[in-house]
Amino acid sequence: MMKLKRFSSVQKKMESMMKCNISQMWSPKLPKGLDLEISHHPMTMKHVANLIIALERLRAGTPESVLSTEFSDENLLDIMLESLVEEYIVPELGSAAPVQYSRTGEYPCSVTDGQKRSLVLVQNSMELHAVMLQAGSENRKVYLNMATYVHPSPSTEARPVALGIKDTNLYLSCHKKDDVPTLHLEAVEDKSSLQRISSDSDLVRFLFYKRDTGLNISTLMSARFPDWYISTAEQDNKPVEMCMESANRYRTINIQRQS
């Protein structure tokens, strides 16, 4: 039905053009020595189309010789369909501007996993292990400095944080090893470089989204690799690693702010 309506509209437009003083519309642009005279009123759509195409060629003043103004029904259909196609220009969308994470503060905190195991630094492997500490070994426990950042989307429940081992320049980071997101301890010589972190910067590897799930209970998800969390194993004295939600590991962490 829409095609019929459009063809009807085109036909009415063509008939309206025929009612105009064609000599006044076209003769000033015809080649010198040529004049246009219509011997009869074109009664068919094909005649009207042929006439308009001939007029357009004469008006354009193309140097090519016109062998004929007659077209087959297939040619006319292609021409008419092309005239009915509406052109839409879709602007090319540029990439979104990078957002900035600005640090707002930093405080020390005590961290234990879901089994009340503390974090211990293993120097020779530069790994954090979750260990059930016995009495008298509390000095092995690692405390973290948690730096908080303003989230670019304040409506979100999670908050970006950076986690550094207290009294050191070691920070937790997440980047790929063998194409798998893994947890690392990295030395940051210039801590001021973490004051502001751009979303398109490689420093995003130091950011984690802290989402509170209860009183002092949180999960820590990598800002670079969504759905990958800091986690501990079921067995004691095993490395703290990244895992997906489906993994059989402990993802909830008890984080208590220290004075």
- HEC string of 128-184 equals EEEECCCCCCHHHECEEEEEEEECCCCCCCCEEEEEEECCCCEEEEEEEECCEEEEE
Backbone Cα Rg of the chain: 37
Q: Which two tokens stand for residue 77?
A: 């259909």
Model confidence band, residue 14 (pLDDT cutoffs 50, 70, 90): low
Look up the CATH number of domain 101-257. 2.80.10.50
Angle at the Cα of 36 from the Cα atoms of 34 and 42, rounded to 5 degrees = 150
Residue 183 has what pLDDT? 98
Note the Cα 138 to chain centre separation in Å: 46
Residue 27 has what pLDDT? 46
pLDDT tens digits along 118-168: 999 999 999 999 999 988 888 999 999 999 999 777 656 899 999 999 999
The domain ranges of the chain are 2-84, 101-257
pLDDT tens digits along 21-50: 444 444 445 555 555 555 555 556 666 666
pTM of the predicted protein model: 0.63
Judged against a pLDDT cut of 50, whether residue 259 lies above it is answered with yes
